[in-house]
Every structure is written in structure tokens, then in C-alpha cells.
Structure 1
Amino acid sequence: MGNVEERSRYAALSRDELARLVPELLLIGQLIDRSGMAWCIGAFGRDEMAQVAIDEWAAASPIYTRRMQRALGYAGDDVVTIFKGLQLDIGAPPQFMDFRYTVDDPNHGAFHLDHCGALMDVEPMGAEYVRAMCHDIEDPTFDATAVATNPHAQVRPIHRPPRVPSDRSPHCAWTVIIDPGHPPVEATAECLRNAESQAALVELAPIAGEGEGRHDYAGPLLADLDFAEFSHSALVRIADEVCLQMHLLFNGFRMAVAKRLPDAPADAERLALRTLIGIAGIASERIMRAVDVPRTPDGAVELLLLHPIFNPAAYVTASGAGDRLEVRPGPAHLDGAWISLCGPEELRPLQAAVRALDASFDVTITGMADSFAVQVTRGEGAKEFDEVAVTRISTGASFVFQPRKALPLYPV
């Protein structure tokens, strides 16, 4: 890793490490809701939890979808562009949400899920929770994702859960049709607000058009993205963009929760904090599947510098050396992002993150709310936080990615 603060903290990783890390980051983004929605059910009930999920995804996905299109050079207004966006979306991490695509022509296509990890998590909770996710949440959020490509795109179900029979496969199937006669989907008020955030506007270094591997996603749609085929520079940019997806989603989550607790900002803050604690620990575990870090305090700082809490570097101002990490005011603090929930008064998110490496690790934090130093120390060992244990219930916490080939798909 080194101690030099770089344009991107992921640039120091090898191309092989990045190819392993990018799908892990996509899965981490999906698991944010496995953490947050559990606490929203307790605070608001099942039906209102679903509305929080709708609001947060609709506030974020149109923004980050367009960012990835621009970064990888595949912006367009057709079905292929929509499907490419899904392949690079934290709402559809590869294999865990196993999308299979069919393209008929630029305006007509379909997809089905051979495996839906989100369904595996929710199905044991009963048909009403399945209906809330696969009907109430998916209908508006699929269209909100498609609107980033074409406001006249509609995503409609062929079949979807609750599954009848109970082992039905594929888990669901959908058509995607673009028609000028479809009423245009418009951005939500929260999305318009999020579009003015620092996370939406931050500029990242362009992909260098040199070195081995592909530098963009122009050309045909691929059945699966083999991230090992991308160049080092492209993978760095993708990793940074995926972290921004998480921050934009968390912006949406905070807006959705605050809207429902206008007179209780402290309660809204607690919900946000519990969500962060839960995902912080699981995210560290997933990162460690891709990148080897020493099980030392110095290694814990290396791990933190790869963690979405601290990325991308253009958004979160921080640097690390040895067993110490320093945070300074930056764009993320202006958004009230994850880093703003960490500091001298709140140790738990970073404790959860470093204890994934070694349960005996602890942190001390000195300084001010937006400018502080983090020291990783060894303690006596601690019980796992309840928030991490709740997030671990998801099958995504232990999911194992398998190698796949990037085969092109053509209109049938």
C-alpha cells in the first residue's frame, strides 16, 4: 500500500487484486440495505421500510448510472446501455444477483435472474416481505434505474416471487421496452437534491488509455463482465465509482429517514449510525477476500484505506502511515457521508472495520469531529457488534464468486 496519499487509494493495488476487489465492492454496496433495512423495520414497520428503500434507490441510481456510463464510454439510450449499467450497479452485484440478458433490438430486451441473493435473504421472512421487495420496491426502482438511460424505458415483470411453485427457477423474469409513447419517468425530489451533492459532482481521474486490458465498455454487451480483462487504470476508476455509488445511496437513505423523522433528528442519526456499523464490519471481511493485508495494526490501517468509508480519495480526505490514520475536512464531510459519523465521539464503525481483521484490535480517536487521528491498538478482544451480526444474516456475507467468461451477446 505505501504511505503516499494518491489520487486514488486503489492505484497501489495490482491489476489482479483490483479484478478481485471490484465485484466485492459491488456486493458490499448491495449489503448496505441488509444492514439498514433491518433497523428501519423496527423503526417504521415493514410497509414504511419498503418506502425508505424506494426513496433511497430512486435518489441515487440515476446519478451513479450516468457517472459510470461516462467513465467507461458506453453512454447511450438503448436497452444494451441499460443492461451494461446493471452489470456495474451495486443493486445488481454479479452472480449474487445473477442477471441473464437477452437483446431483441435497441428498444426491446429481457432479463431473468438465475439466482437472486436478495430473495434468498428475504424468502425465509415470509411472502409479505417477498412481495414488498419484489413488487413494491422493484417496480419504481427498476424504472428509476432505466431513466438514467432513457426516460421512456419501462421494466415490467413476466413473472416474479413469491415463487409458485416454491422452487421456481429462474427466480424472476422481466421485459425492458423503450417506447416514445411511454410516459416519461422523472427524477424524484430526493434525486434532484442528491444530484447537487459532493458525491455526485466529484471529479475523478480519467482512465488512461494505455497498458494491458480494455479501457472502456464500448462495443457489444457481455453476458458477464470478467473484470480481469480491464486495464489497471479502468479498474481503479471502476472501484472509485462503485464507492461513490455507496455514498450516493447512503445520501438517499439519510434523506428518506430524515423525511420520516422530522422532529427526531437524533433518532435518524442513530439509524444511520447502526447501518454504518453493520456494513463496516462485513465490508472489511469482503475486502480481505480480494486483498491480503497483514494481521497487524499497520495492516489494519491498510485495510481502512481500502474501505468504502475512506474512498474515493477525491471525496474523503485522509492519509495513513504505519498504525495511524489521519482524517481532514473534505467533500464527504459536506455531504454528511459515512466519515462524518466517525470521530472522537463515535468509535464503533472503525472498531467494527478493524476487528474484522483481528478481534483484539481497537481504535483510539483524538481530535475534532471533522479533523482527527485514528490509532489502531491491540486490546483484549471484543464481542461482535449486534449491527454486524444482523448484517451477517445475509447470504451475501459469505457468498463466494466463481470465475466466468466474458462472452458477447448479440440481438436474437
Structure 2
Amino acid sequence: MSEAARVRDGQGVSAVPASRFAGLSRAQLAVVVPELLLIGQLIDRSGMAWCISAFGREVMAEIAIEEWAASSPIYTRRMQHALGYAPEVAGHGDVPTIFKGLQLDIGAPPQFMDFRYRVDDPWTGEFHLDHCGALMDVEPMGEEYVRSMCHDIEDPTFDATAVATNPRAQVRPIHRPPRAPADRHPHCAWTVRIRDDHPPVSGIPLLAVNEASRAASLELAPIEPGGPGLDDYAGPLLSDLDFTAFSHAALVRIADEVCLQMALLDRAFGLAVGKRATDVDQLLAIRRKQLTGIAGVASARLARALLAPASVAGAMSVLAVHPLFNPAAYVTASFDAASVTVTPGPAHEDDAWISLCGPDWTDALRAAVGGVDLHLDVAVSPVPAAAGTGAGWRADVVRRDEPVREADEVAVVRFSTGTDFAFETRRSLPIFVV
């Protein structure tokens, strides 16, 4: 693939940087995509721990509601259009469209959040969770935290996600935790109904703020047909997405979209925390802790998935596909054998993760290479502004004789069962109307 994919935008031809995921094989991408979805889910295991510490459980729940409600409608619509299953008439999508969106949502990573679907007709369906990794993480914290997640947070955020497809969709519980009896299975069950007499759901105020971000409208290269595999998800709803069935081009686009989901979620997180922080220093401290934790865990999972060696070369291969540096159209960076150079781009305009990093603060970069091998470290130096670019920085990956200690922020995320969760191979079957 060339350095820049040529994309028609209706008013001419514009250059879109080629995806960094394009360098992976189709088989590698089929492994990496579910990893990215799970990494997106683990962002909250990092961020919310520090929100509880700073503000308490109840305010943490408020932040979580605003974070998801201000991001999921944006990225749900993006994925619909990218994979060709958007409603023919905006806002008039059906239940299978909602379910397809959940299967490609960092809020519902496959198997870890094991959604099982039933469709009664285009406007009526149900789902239950055979396994809820989030519940497994929260149950040990006590019933108050379970209620915060499964009641206070889920009620508004499920509807907020559905509004991207149809504002008259309602997601309502059949049963949900706290579990009674304690081993109740499935973990929860919900109905999804779309009715003309349902009052339409509207977005929260922060949604409009996030919709104005560069991430929300970022142009990515379209999926060019021609290779083996599916180029879209326009067919029937499937019980489990078999990512090996998608084409290389489709998987590349999905990977980039999932990284954008994380960027939009993090931006909404920053907006929600910023409303409650005592000052900009507290906001910055919480955002940095969140990033450090997820940076280390993401690298560890990606390194295992890609069988990356515990070396400088292995770290570079992981950094190239790490959410911190993707998508390429969002984060302006160049990679060589042992370093990455970052210059200001769209992600900096959004105050995204990469904008937190640099010579003055290296914790997240150190955690990212440490996730591959704790003997690895970074040496970060400023890079003067060049023609057409602003001043940036360069991170050289180096190997130390003695391992560094894993960051406390990474250890906090390891509390989640998602850090060591193993995906299994499943058969993908079409779901028909009952």
C-alpha cells in the first residue's frame, strides 16, 4: 500500500495517510481486532480507579455515564457507515443494526462481554450476557459498586448507544445484578424494543462537544474491494463475529475505527472529569494515570497476540499498532527500527493521549515499552519544528541491564480479569427471526 491512500471526498481527491495496520497480515489482523476491542473496554479499569480515589463512587458513576453517552453515538454511526450496515434512513435503524453495533463496540468486546442475541422481528429483540467480564471485576468490590455499574450507568448508556441507530429504541432489563442467587446465570438479560410511541432519546450536552472533535469527523481510507473475505457487514446478523471472514481491507478499517473509539471515549472522559476537577492539574494527573495504566496493559496484550519478541524490534512492532499512536490519520508519527518521532496533528488538536506525552512526561511511553519487556525503556528528546510541522519529540527505545519496576498505574489495571482473558475460536452462525 502506498504512503497515502487516495480518497474521493465528493469535492475532489484528498490524501489520507495509509493505516499502520495495513502492514499486518490478514491473519494477524483477525487476532488484533478483538484485542483492540478488549483494550478499549479496559480503559475504564484504568481511569475509573483514579476517579473513585479523587471523587468517590457516586461521582465516578456520573463520569462513566457522561463518558460513554458522549462518545458511543459518534463511533457507532462511524462503524455503521464504514462497514455498510447504516440505516437507509438516518435514525430509523432496526434491532439487528443495534446488535451489529454492539459486536463492534469497545463497550462490549467479544467473549469478555459475551452477548447472546435473539431477534423476534426487526423492531423487537433480546440479549443476555453468558459472561460479563465487567461484572467479574466489580463484584468483589461489593453490591454498591455492582448497582452503580449495572443500574446507574447501564440504564442511560444502553439507550445512548441505541440512539445512534434509532432514538425510539429502549433497552430495558429482564434481570440484572446484583445476582440472586449469587451464581445466577446468565449474568443479565435485556429487551430491546423500537416503537413509534416511545419518546425519542436525545444526546447529552457533552455529546455535541465531542461531535466537534477532529476524531468524530476524521476521514479514513475506504475499504477497497478485491481481496478475499468480506468487505462489509451488510449481511445477516451473526451470533459471533468471525474476524477471519473479513477481508484485509475491512480489518484494517475496523482496527482504525476501534482506535478512534478509544480516542473519542478518552476525550469524553476528559470532558467529564474536567467538569468536576478542582483545577487543571488534577485533571491532568487523572488523565495521565489513566493513560499510563492502559498503555502498559495494551502493549502486553498486543505483544502476546503478535508473538512479538522481548526486544527493541518487538517493542517497535507493538508501538506501531498501539492505540496511543493510531490511527495514522489522527496521530502524526513516523517509525524507524528503534524510535518513533511525533509531530503535532489532529490528535493534538483534540488534546488526545499522544498530546500528554513528550520529553516532560514519559511515564506512558515507558509503560508501553515495558509491556513488551520490563528491560525496555525510552529516551525522549525534543525535535525542532520543520517546514510544515510544529515542534515534536522523538522516543528512542533502549534496553537496560536491569528491569524497571512496573508502574503502579499498570498494576491497578491488572486487577481486571480482562488483562489475562483468552479468546476462543467460535463458529459464526446467522441469527434469524424467531
TM-score bracket, shorter-length normalisation: over 0.9
Q: Give the letter for the 1:287 counterpart.
A: L
Q: What secondary structure does 1:234 align onto?
A: helix
Structural RMSD (CA):
1.4
Q: What secondary structure does 1:228 align onto?
A: helix
Residue 154 (str. 1) matches residue 170 (str. 2): yes
Q: Give the TM-score taking structure 2 as reference length.
A: 0.93
How many angstroms apart in 2 are the aligned matches of 1:22 and 1:324? 24
Residue 28 (str. 1) matches residue 49 (str. 2): no
Q: What secondary structure does 2:71 align onto?
A: helix
User: Deviation digits for residues 362-391 of structure 1, max 9, x if unmatched?
Assistant: 101111696111101112211110000000
User: Deviation digits for residues 138-174 of structure 1, max 9, x if unmatched?
Assistant: 0000000000000000000000000000000000000
Match of 1:18 in 2: 29
The 8 Å contact of residues 3 and 319 in structure 1, kept in 2 or not, is answered as no
How many angstroms apart in 1 are the aligned matches of 2:68 and 2:391? 27
Residue 273 (str. 1) matches residue 288 (str. 2): yes
Q: Give the letter for the 1:330 counterpart.
A: G
- Between the aligned residues of both structures, percent identity stands at 63
The correspondence for 2:259, drawn from 227, 240, 243, is 243
How many angstroms apart in 2 are the aligned matches of 1:221 and 1:138? 23
Q: CA deviation at 1:250?
A: 0.1
The correspondence for 1:354, drawn from 369, 372, 377, is 369
Q: Give the letter for the 2:114 counterpart.
A: D
The correspondence for 1:172, drawn from 157, 165, 188, is 188
The 8 Å contact of residues 174 and 189 in structure 2, kept in 1 or not, is answered as yes
Residue 219 (str. 1) matches residue 235 (str. 2): yes
Match of 2:407 in 1: 385
User: Deviation digits for residues 213-268 of structure 1, max 9, x if unmatched?
Assistant: 0000012100000000000000000000000000000000000000012x411100
Match of 1:7 in 2: 18
Q: CA deviation at 1:30?
A: 0.1
Q: CA deviation at 1:71?
A: 0.1
Q: What secondary structure does 1:90 align onto?
A: coil
Q: What secondary structure does 2:394 align onto?
A: strand
The 8 Å contact of residues 343 and 370 in structure 1, kept in 2 or not, is answered as no
Q: Give the letter for the 2:403 counterpart.
A: G
User: Deviation digits for residues 75-129 of structure 1, max 9, x if unmatched?
Assistant: 1200000000000000000000000000001110000000000000000111110
Q: Give the letter for the 1:259 counterpart.
A: K
Match of 1:404 in 2: 426
Structure with bigger helix share is: 1
Q: What secondary structure does 1:346 align onto?
A: coil
Q: CA deviation at 1:295?
A: 2.4
Match of 1:58 in 2: 69
Q: What is the total number of aligned residue pairs between the two structures?
A: 410
Q: What secondary structure does 1:94 align onto?
A: coil
Q: Give the letter for the 2:316 counterpart.
A: V
How many angstroms apart in 2 are the aligned matches of 1:115 and 1:358? 31
Q: Which runs of 5+ in 1 are unaligned?
A: none
Q: Give the letter for the 2:61 counterpart.
A: A
Q: Give the letter for the 2:341 counterpart.
A: E
How many angstroms apart in 2 are the aligned matches of 1:268 and 1:328? 24
Q: What secondary structure does 1:151 align onto?
A: coil
Q: CA deviation at 1:294?
A: 3.1
Q: CA deviation at 1:293?
A: 2.4
The 8 Å contact of residues 214 and 350 in structure 2, kept in 1 or not, is answered as yes
The 8 Å contact of residues 2 and 18 in structure 2, kept in 1 or not, is answered as no
User: Deviation digits for residues 311-353 of structure 1, max 9, x if unmatched?
Assistant: 0000000011111111011000000000011100011101001
How many angstroms apart in 2 are the aligned matches of 1:59 and 1:381? 40
Select between 286-295 and 197-206 the one with higher mean Cα deviation: 286-295
Match of 1:143 in 2: 159
Where relative contact order (Cα < 8 A, 6+ residues apart) is larger, the structure is: 1
Q: CA deviation at 1:4?
A: 6.8
How many angstroms apart in 1 are the aligned matches of 2:37 and 2:184? 26
The 8 Å contact of residues 365 and 375 in structure 1, kept in 2 or not, is answered as yes
Match of 2:354 in 1: 339
**Inter-CA distance 370–244: structure 2 relative to 1 (3 Å threshold):** farther
Q: What secondary structure does 2:320 align onto?
A: helix
How many angstroms apart in 2 are the aligned matches of 1:194 and 1:3? 31
The 8 Å contact of residues 333 and 370 in structure 1, kept in 2 or not, is answered as no
The correspondence for 1:108, drawn from 124, 130, 140, is 124
Q: Give the letter for the 1:231 counterpart.
A: S
Q: Give the letter for the 2:213 counterpart.
A: S
How many angstroms apart in 1 are the aligned matches of 2:213 and 2:153? 24
How many angstroms apart in 1 are the aligned matches of 2:262 and 2:212? 16
How many angstroms apart in 1 are the aligned matches of 2:22 and 2:379? 28
